[in-house]
Structure 1
């Protein structure tokens, strides 16, 4: 029933009783003798709908009071479709985190909310990712990279982050402005275009809020760190024709140091069943001479031993301190009875600072000629020294600062013509990001500083540096000469215009045909530079390269929902055609079938193709140099028999100069998505809902860069001679490892959920839910001809090129209670065990990473004057993350688990 029809129905004022606490009898009485009835649309939500005809009454009676799969309002489009379904049956599974659930969790960031969703696994980033992090937060559905999950705000695409533009930064979305989050766990390129291979996260902001809401939050770990506070104020109001709302928020997260947790305080993990990964670059030095290895601990040169290995965890951050401020404004105005204008603006400022151990120098492996000349003034040995490993602690810890400023503006008009609705939207988004990493070393200056007086002379401004002295021997003048700072600056921009219309296309004997169509024109641009992009990377830092590029995208899309049998069978379809100015065009269809064999059972199936356009970094990055640890088959004894070898190469080499960079000839990654599921809402068990969905994602032409693959194919098959460059003796001089479409993946699994709610006058409202995801297989092939590996149930750290934690099972369950002014919640999160492989005592070892579960508890009380007070405890049992021997940071996977331990918080809010 359309809103203009409903507005003509008058219902007299009534005083209704709810004797047993259920609202259903009161609604029956209220709507009696009207053409309206109601149905439960989810937890604590009801939709008013048209009363069915007599021929429909049997079916309606069975579904009238059953909860829908997601919290929706009848006639509103769902994530994954532009259609405004009058039916509440989605053809794909959707997880919904609505405002009541957001409040009771106590979460203060979007990334924090999504981290423990069962469908989220793999290499998402957050402020828990320290060495290798950049202050951004992303989400990874199904274990696929973050660039395969599309993030929307109010159903619209947003600009990607400024640090490379790979994916949207969740830290630029203030949780205080969020009304609900919908997670579509299915491919949706036919509806939204690029990036929606693994699914879609649609963040719905508050727009029609009336009144005043002020809230504050404070929390800290029981160990006294991670002190976190946030404040927000939201106001909304207006008249019958206009509305204005704004939300202002501040958030500050405290730090956790690696040394302050038993799990992460040492890099020597042998007692835990791992390896000793302390660094040979210690303050006293590792000095390789012809006579052996010595160190200088202040008592002169003595033989080096493992006792001098350096525990860098004494200095590192395990949770990055960060700060964010945001302003969100939403305004609307009715231009006529059928046309409205609106505008939404958001400004976000984020800052973070992480600490790493002082810069290490490896003269044999770092960029540049870092050998110490025999006549260097600090060299007492009278021989050239090529292998010195020194922790230059005199520089102080490395400090990485990340700053991001984001502006978003969406404006448009929308209206209704008969039963069709239309909307024209214009958007402009801009993100500026910069990163500074201080207390690094300039390799060019250090190279000069390690040479003799004929090269490093004071009159030339050169200052000799003492890498062979005891700790503290590098003085301020020396430090001033070699100290360097790396800076990365990036901007991403997006401008778009979108028009979409939807409504009934007509009808057939089975019901009304719904349709939607639209066009979108979008321009994307990136400008990314770093101080190392023109030469060698600074010692202690990571070369980021540079990129500059833009593209113009034009897209047309259409959807249809065709009833095949009244209230029993529907066929849904979608198609999107995309034209990119840099790589060409692609068309992606989706088809879905919904069948209700019985009133209480829905069977749904879908097939879709998807694509992920290569990012502007992928296509335009200028290469940076790195010394990579690789294996060249031409060093084997059978090198003369291999087509790509010019003789046997140097057997002692383990590192090779590698250049990375973009490739303007890249094509999109493509996918096939299949799903099959059932939804059961038994009529004799009102308030219960269960669903089971099988999914399969097959992905081809995955964009990757694998120098080892290039070397292997070059040696054994004589391929890639332009990328693997060898000299006349067969030794590799350079590897050009630009990105290629070479990988393939196949992910299969099943999602299961159950929910039940019960309400009575004595107990109040009780809700129970369980949500789980099972990854049955994750087949990964790095390149054609390479082996196919099943990564399901394994962990391989992103720092070593792995896909992260891919648990076979991930689940949460909880019970939530509300009665009068009281409400509470108890939630359990679970991650199943994993396997990891690493080398221990020159032997390949596979070990089990234990399963992990945490318990969260919240209790809140509200008073009639509008005040609400809540306390909560996360990780009630103080369960530490499971140890991972191959984890790069802090002996565990920070992308999947939480190091904090027991964490207590309180919130105080006022609403009127």
Structure 2
């Protein structure tokens, strides 16, 4: 008895016509005489437009089954793919706490180090939504929903486009799952940190003609701090200029006397070079208003910025995936995927190393905190307010399709029509960079009122005194209480605004495909495929308007 079951591929490729010779291993298979017929599983073909084509390349397709994935014990698709020998360094790693932009926090795969934008990622044959830079985030696919992963480790740009120059990764999700399944993963590093927890469950119901599968997953990984690892705990502690008496910009604060004179050349009267410059900081228990209580800085005053740095960022993810499918007839089927994913990433780096000379914001001679009566050039690391970034990405994806087959002139032809809507919404909230507009006011003229409270301006009649401005004493060391302390919450609120970046990318795609075989030749079927695709991708990423103005200690956006 001959059992005919045309293979159905869910991947939808760019428009074009492809011809290839392929063995007729899927169009007709010989089965021994038995009771009734046998239904064969539908397959997904990666790297070919002709369904059932046995395409051979120098790098054949690698398939990771669900059983393989469970044995590896990874909690994300990116970790699985990063374990491949052909995978290069991650485009953006969680260990890069200094990274910025809309792509931070995502999981990307870079095959052969050709760039993450050159490895195409598909989900059931359809593209993932990309950032404006072309990165496709693998973290949005819950592990609980994966049936298998197919990796074509060969360039396929002729079929898919320039984003498939390095490789193609096709993630196939579970369908027609019947029953319930739950999984719990809990772990941490040997140092007792980096706690990881993942909870997932899958529910499914299957009938004669269709089924519904639901997978939900929650995953959280705590950050790891640089101070807790031998290779990063020492950081950059040590003098900036050995032998000069100066040290790195520290959390104690200090002023220079004399200072470098950039407008004079060496040999000219009054010239002060870097080797002649001296920095002074407040001695322990000293009076910040008394110039005599300041001493020369030494290398012992050096600060280790890595004490406030993350060596691995924290991440939290919530995912929900639903698949529904129904066979209208034996030859026509409907399939739809819905995915919602929410990812939150936390970064922290050390407080900003503020240098007044870089922003032309000296401590005014009229400041209540100036111990010399002259404008002072100072430097201080803003230790009380580390720089943090909270990144949130929400993904919503809907991919319906109708597929089937028909017989004509003794041959079987496969067809499918589908659509894809994918939306990624990004919100980044940063804190820890100082407003230069506010710092100029806080470092300007100030006075101590009759009530003992420090205020901006020269007197209570000055508009600055009641404007909400808070004077700042950059010479007051971290941990020392006093007027103008950066530890004061109201002062922090005045000096450190929140920066909010927003982004939105959309992918819309409509496809139609037809494939089959024309004649049978000695070497196999002469197959053909024809298809059309309309794809629209649009995106924007808008940095905070204040960040764009350049009026903060952060890099201009």
Fold similarity call, TM over 0.5: yes
Query: Is the CA contact (8 Å cut-off) linking 1:111 and 1:126 kept in structure 2?
Result: no
Question: Which of 530, 535, 548 in structure 1 is aligned with 2:549?
Answer: 535
Change (3 A) 1:288 1:105: same
Query: Is the CA contact (8 Å cut-off) linking 1:322 and 1:350 kept in structure 2?
Result: yes
What residue is the counterpart of 1:263 in the other structure?
231
Change (3 A) 1:297 1:143: farther
What residue is the counterpart of 1:191 in the other structure?
159
What residue is the counterpart of 1:177 in the other structure?
145
Asked if 1:122 is matched to 2:115, the reply is no
Query: Is the CA contact (8 Å cut-off) linking 1:339 and 1:416 kept in structure 2?
Result: yes
- Equivalence map 1:157-556=2 (5 Å): 157-161=127-131, 164-268=132-236, 280-290=248-258, 292-298=278-284, 299=286, 300-365=293-358, 368-386=359-377, 388-395=378-385, 397-418=386-407, 419-452=412-445, 456=457, 458-460=462-464, 461=467, 462-471=469-478, 472=480, 473=482, 474-475=484-485, 476=488, 477-531=490-544, 532-536=546-550, 538-539=552-553, 541-543=554-556
Query: Is the CA contact (8 Å cut-off) linking 1:279 and 1:311 kept in structure 2?
Result: no
Mapped partners of 1:132, 1:279: distance in 2 = 26
Mapped partners of 1:409, 1:441: distance in 2 = 42
Mapped partners of 2:172, 2:370: distance in 1 = 65
Deviation of residue 259 (structure 1)? 1.4
- Tell which structure's C-alpha radius of gyration is larger: 2
Give 3-state SS (helix, strand or coil) of 1:377's partner: coil
Query: Is the CA contact (8 Å cut-off) linking 2:117 and 2:135 kept in structure 1?
Result: yes
Mapped partners of 1:2, 1:520: distance in 2 = 35
What residue is the counterpart of 2:4 in the other structure?
4
Query: Is the CA contact (8 Å cut-off) linking 1:413 and 1:424 kept in structure 2?
Result: yes
Give 3-state SS (helix, strand or coil) of 1:195's partner: helix
Deviation of residue 223 (structure 1)? 2.0
Query: Is the CA contact (8 Å cut-off) linking 2:219 and 2:317 kept in structure 1?
Result: yes
Mapped partners of 1:264, 1:459: distance in 2 = 48
- Greater share of residues in strand: 1
Query: Is the CA contact (8 Å cut-off) linking 1:456 and 1:463 kept in structure 2?
Result: no
Give 3-state SS (helix, strand or coil) of 1:393's partner: coil
Deviation of residue 433 (structure 1)? 1.4
Change (3 A) 1:319 1:177: same
Change (3 A) 1:269 1:363: closer
What residue is the counterpart of 2:21 in the other structure?
none
Asked if 1:149 is matched to 2:119, the reply is yes
Query: Is the CA contact (8 Å cut-off) linking 1:495 and 1:524 kept in structure 2?
Result: yes
TM-score (norm 2): 0.78
Change (3 A) 1:384 1:324: same
What are the superposed Cα offsets for residues 176-212 of structure 1, whole Å, 9 maximum, x if unpaired?
A: 1111222222222221224112222211111232322
Give 3-state SS (helix, strand or coil) of 2:497's partner: strand
Segments of structure 1 that go 5 or more residues without pairing to the other structure are 8-38, 40-46, 53-72, 271-277, 544-623, 625-912
Asked if 1:138 is matched to 2:108, the reply is yes
TM-score (norm 1): 0.49
Give 3-state SS (helix, strand or coil) of 2:220's partner: strand
CA RMSD of aligned residues (A): 3.1
Query: Is the CA contact (8 Å cut-off) linking 1:75 and 1:84 kept in structure 2?
Result: no
Deviation of residue 126 (structure 1)? 4.0
Give 3-state SS (helix, strand or coil) of 2:439's partner: helix
What are the superposed Cα offsets for residues 228-253 of structure 1, whole Å, 9 maximum, x if unpaired?
A: 12121112222221211111111121
Mapped partners of 2:302, 2:344: distance in 1 = 34
Segments of structure 2 that go 5 or more residues without pairing to the other structure are 8-24, 32-39, 239-245, 259-276, 287-292, 448-455
Mapped partners of 1:142, 1:410: distance in 2 = 30
Mapped partners of 2:138, 2:247: distance in 1 = 34
Mapped partners of 1:302, 1:125: distance in 2 = 44
Q: Which has the higher contact order (CA 8 A, sep 6+)?
A: 2
Give 3-state SS (helix, strand or coil) of 1:137's partner: coil
What are the superposed Cα offsets for residues 453-477 of structure 1, whole Å, 9 maximum, x if unpaired?
A: 6995552334332122333454324
